[in-house]
Amino acid sequence: MENDLHNIIRELSEIYDKNSSDTFLTLYIKKDSLDNKFLKRREKACKSLLSGSEQKNFESTMEEIRDYLKKNKSDNYAIFASNKYNFLKSVKSPVEIENSLIVDSSPYIRPLARVLDEWESFTLILISSNYAKIYSLSYGKIDFEKNLSKDIMNKHKKGGCSQARFQRLRKGAINKFFNEVLEALEKIADKRIILAGPGTAKIQFKDKLPKYIDERIVDIIDVNVDDEKNLLKESIRLISENEKEKSRNAVKQLKAEILRDGLATYGIDETLKAVKNGQVELLIVEKDYKIKGWICEHCQIVKHGSVQRCPYCNDIISEVDIIEEILEFAARTEADIEFTDDEEIAYLGHIGAILRYR
């Protein structure tokens, strides 16, 4: 799901109307809001501000969106559509996104980009000496799970093999089982892994992990194998805390690079310039910050402030949120995006970037 969402955002970031008209409608709507007054109110407000061909396209596009929603009512949706370009793409949002209807010259991707950043997938392994369960979780829900178990004797019976030989056999059986679990894990492991289980088995298993997997472990939890429900809740909480820490570390890294005059830039103008040039490795954005600007879709010039026509080609411009345009450039150039509420990003102009090169 995470890779799918990444590809969808990339695809949407490359779509825009070169004639700079208000052509694309973006609708984010919760499943329990399909029959409330939100959509009617927003539709009425947007329609009253449009005229001519833009109003006609808005009406026909809204008709297509409503037809789609009549047939699909059971999920949270993000819908991107334009009757002019015979375009409609819907995404089942894995989490609720605040209701909004946006009319612009391109699809509005910011809410989806935040979902991708804040709800990264992770792998949870619950393991003992003879039982393992591997979960793959995305956006707080289980996408996949795999069960593995092995019949391993826990007690030495009198007679038969010696105690020492019994221990060697048992250790060999556990080691073989751990190898089976590792083989399964290598096929599905996400960027972040939580390791859980009772006693020392989880630590013994961790010691067997290759470095590239061991480095992904973000926490180890001591828990009974029967307590899966609470384990899932605790794992989601830990990943949420890990995401906040990742956000803080991104700002720290940005500050460190700025102080050493390294590979970093900050502020609206400099960050916009860098992201358009494909220099940005990691874009760091204040979560709810917006700034008014304009774009000429014809020559792809983006500036903050306000003008009537493009000063470079004299074409019609569109008013935009500069942050949204920067996010689109970042998605097109495969830059990572980190949203943060760390107050120090505000001192740096609300936005900054770690660069690939100067």
Final residue belonging to a domain, choices 196, 226, 256: 226
Expressed as residue numbers, the domain containing 205 is: 121-226
User: What pLDDT score was predicted for residue 48?
Assistant: 93
Residues 9 and 127 sit within 8 Å (Cβ to Cβ) = no
Beta strands per DSSP E along 140-214: 141-149, 193-197
What the block records as the tokens of 343 is 């107050």
Examine the domain organization and report whether 221 and 128 are in the same domain.
yes
**Spatial distance between the Cα atoms of 168 and 3, rounded to a whole number of angstroms:** 44
Phi, psi of 163, rounded to the nearest 5 degrees: -60, -45
In a domain, 112, yes or no: no
User: What pLDDT score was predicted for residue 155?
Assistant: 53
User: What pLDDT score was predicted for residue 165?
Assistant: 67
Terminal alpha carbon distance of the chain: 34
In a domain, 187, yes or no: yes
In a domain, 192, yes or no: yes
Q: Give me the number of domains the chain comprises.
A: 2
* Cβ count near 146 (within 10 Å): 15
In a domain, 188, yes or no: yes
Examine the domain organization and report whether 129 and 99 are in the same domain.
no
Examine the domain organization and report whether 136 and 215 are in the same domain.
yes
Examine the domain organization and report whether 87 and 149 are in the same domain.
no
Give the neighbor-by-neighbor strand order of the sheet with 122-127.
141-149, 131-138, 122-127, 193-197, 217-222
In a domain, 325, yes or no: no
Q: With a cut of 50, which residues of the chain have pLDDT below it?
A: 156
Examine the domain organization and report whether 184 and 218 are in the same domain.
yes
CATH number for the domain including 177?
3.30.420.60
* DSSP conformation class of 152: -
CATH number for the domain including 74?
3.30.960.10
